[in-house]
Structure 1
Amino acid sequence: MRTVFKKHRAVNAPIADLVTYRAIPTQSVEYIDPFLFLNHHGPQVYRPNNRGLPFGPHPHRGFETVTFILEGDILHKDSSGHESVIEAGGIQWMTAGAGLIHAEVSSDNFKKTGGPLEILQLWVNLPAKYKMTEPRYIGLQANEIPTATLADGVTVHAVSGDWSDTAGAVQPLADVALAWLDLAAAATVMLPIAASRSIFFYVVRGSVRVNGTEVFTRELAEFDHDGDELAIEALTDSVLLIGHAEPFGESVVSAGPFVMNTEAEIEQAYADYQQGKFGRWNG
């Protein structure tokens, strides 16, 4: 079984009135190749007639954002012409690739009525060969994401990759498997994951024991590459965000909204954005 190398607690990093905890990067962990960044927004309750999410138009290049909407909603709009409102239980998978401008805000309905909100946004790197690929956006509602029972009391929401006999809804450019698990208290499950692959393991709610180590709400577990199985036991009702991928093993140079392989590529990204090469924003 894989050894838990270290646990990392998400740090409080509020954005305006949005409750936010950043799980990665922090002072204790920079990234887990190819998983670069995770913000955990909420849980919180918005009052009626609120301003909603504060993520107005901004650019990206060189990676992908995968957004999990547990409660509330997100209205996505980008300079490639995509627009959709994804509600609780859905996901958004955006491949920034060569570059685009997007906004992630709350729907007019959510701003009017308010309600509970909890959202996770994960940044997944792109290998060098795909960094300048054409941008892509996939928005899926809850009923478009395959679910399956992995064991008694364990439900997987398969976003990408294969989870037991269930294929994820998204076919990513790189071999990245992502899902979230709902676990009832005392439920157990064994997950096979090849020892060579990086694991992203974040407890959204509750607490679990994995390969003998207890991991609690808002904790990220980092694993050694010394085994090919995860034995997970839910200590309470829990929600777990989990992913795995072969590490890319490439240099990572990031600056603000861009993630590339060299400083020169970062400079080019800023130049291209300033020259309007990321598309036109029609607010």
Structure 2
Amino acid sequence: MRTIKQQHRAVSAPIADLVTYRALPTQSVEHLDPFLFLNHHGPQTYRPNNQGLPFGPHPHRGFETVTFILEGDIMHQDTGGHESIIRAGGIQWMTAGSGLIHAEISSPAFKQTGGPLEILQLWVNLPAKDKLVAPRYIGLQQPEIPSTTLDDGRVTIHAVSGNWEGTAGAVQPLTDMSLATIDFRAGGKLDLTIPPDHTIFFYTIRGKLRVNGQETEARRLTEFNYDGDDLHIEALEDAVLLLGHAHPFREPIVAYGPFVMNTEAEIEQAYQEYRAGKFGQWQG
């Protein structure tokens, strides 16, 4: 079995009135190559006639964002011409690549009626050879994400990318990135085999789990060593897990604000091209 290197507690990092916990990076962990960043927004309940999510137009280059909508909704618009409203159970996968401007806000209906909201956004790196690929966006509602149920219905895997116990994910990524959310009922067990040279991303969203002999709980990121290929997971209570794995790139990472490149010069170039309008003109 894989051994556990360390567990990292997400830190409170509210954004305006949005409850936010940042699981990556924190003082104890900078990144888990190629996983760069995770914000856990909520859970919280918005009142009717609210302002919704605060993420107005902003640029990105050099990486991808994967957004998991657990409760509420998110309305996306970008300079590539993509628009969508994704609801609870859905995901967004945006490849910023060479650069675009996007906004992630709440739908008019959510602002009017309010309700529960819980969203995770994960940033995943792109290798140097793909950092300037053409941007793309995929928005999927819950029924469009394949799922498989195991352990007499106590474990349900929602396959976003990669292959999960014979179920192919909804998204074909540029790299070998495998991502899924997994719902556990108390007592549910799951055994997985993951290549020993892959980085594992294991974030407990809700509930309590035991993984390879260690207990973990909500808002904790579990970091593994590269010394085995077996994961044994058991739910100590009802729980939800964000699980991913990928081959690390082992390339220099230079991140500044909304850009993630390999060198300082590339960051400077990104800002110059953004200011010059090469990321598109915002039409919102």
Distance (Å, rounded) in 2 between the aligned partners of 1:189 and 1:81: 40
What residue in structure 1 maps to residue 127 of structure 2? 127
Distance (Å, rounded) in 2 between the aligned partners of 1:133 and 1:225: 30
What is the one-letter code of the residue matched to 1:34? P
What residue in structure 2 maps to residue 207 of structure 1? 208
Distance (Å, rounded) in 2 between the aligned partners of 1:247 and 1:263: 21
Contact 1:55/1:104 (<8 A) preserved? yes
What residue in structure 1 maps to residue 199 of structure 2? 198
Q: Give the 3-state SS of the residue equivalent to 1:272 in structure 2.
A: helix
Report the CA distance between 1:150 and its aligned residue. Answer: 3.1
Q: Where in structure 1 are there 5+ consecutive unaligned residues?
A: none
- List, as ranges, runs of 4+ consecutive aligned residues in structure 1 with deviation greater than 2 Å: none
Give the paired residue count.
Answer: 283
Distance (Å, rounded) in 2 between the aligned partners of 1:278 and 1:239: 36
What residue in structure 2 maps to residue 98 of structure 1? 98
What is the one-letter code of the residue matched to 1:170? V
Work out whether 1:165 is the aligned partner of 2:166.
Answer: yes
Report the CA distance between 1:108 and its aligned residue. Answer: 0.1
Report the CA distance between 1:151 and its aligned residue. Answer: 2.5
What residue in structure 1 maps to residue 75 of structure 2? 75
What residue in structure 1 maps to residue 7 of structure 2? 7
Distance (Å, rounded) in 1 between the aligned partners of 2:161 and 2:150: 16
What is the one-letter code of the residue matched to 2:98? A
What is the one-letter code of the residue matched to 1:112? Q
What is the one-letter code of the residue matched to 2:265? A
Flag the 1:236–1:257 CA change in 2: closer, same or farther, 3 A: same
Distance (Å, rounded) in 2 between the aligned partners of 1:229 and 1:255: 36
What residue in structure 2 maps to residue 271 of structure 1? 272
What residue in structure 2 maps to residue 155 of structure 1? 156
Distance (Å, rounded) in 2 between the aligned partners of 1:215 and 1:34: 22
* 1:188-227 residue CA offsets vs partner (Å, 9 max, x unmatched): 1101101100000000000100000111100000000111
Contact 1:68/1:91 (<8 A) preserved? yes
What residue in structure 2 maps to residue 176 of structure 1? 177
Q: CA RMSD in A?
A: 0.4
Report the CA distance between 1:149 and its aligned residue. Answer: 1.1
Q: Where in structure 2 are there 5+ consecutive unaligned residues?
A: none
Contact 1:150/1:164 (<8 A) preserved? no
What residue in structure 2 maps to residue 258 of structure 1? 259
Normalised TM-score (structure 1): 1.00
* 1:91-140 residue CA offsets vs partner (Å, 9 max, x unmatched): 00000000000000000000000000000000000000100000000000
Normalised TM-score (structure 2): 0.99
What residue in structure 1 maps to residue 19 of structure 2? 19
What residue in structure 1 maps to residue 29 of structure 2? 29
What is the one-letter code of the residue matched to 2:215? E
What is the one-letter code of the residue matched to 2:188? A
What is the one-letter code of the residue matched to 2:115? G
Report the CA distance between 1:142 and its aligned residue. Answer: 0.3
Contact 1:41/1:118 (<8 A) preserved? yes
Q: Give the 3-state SS of the residue equivalent to 2:274 in structure 1.
A: helix
What is the one-letter code of the residue matched to 2:193? P
Contact 1:209/1:234 (<8 A) preserved? yes
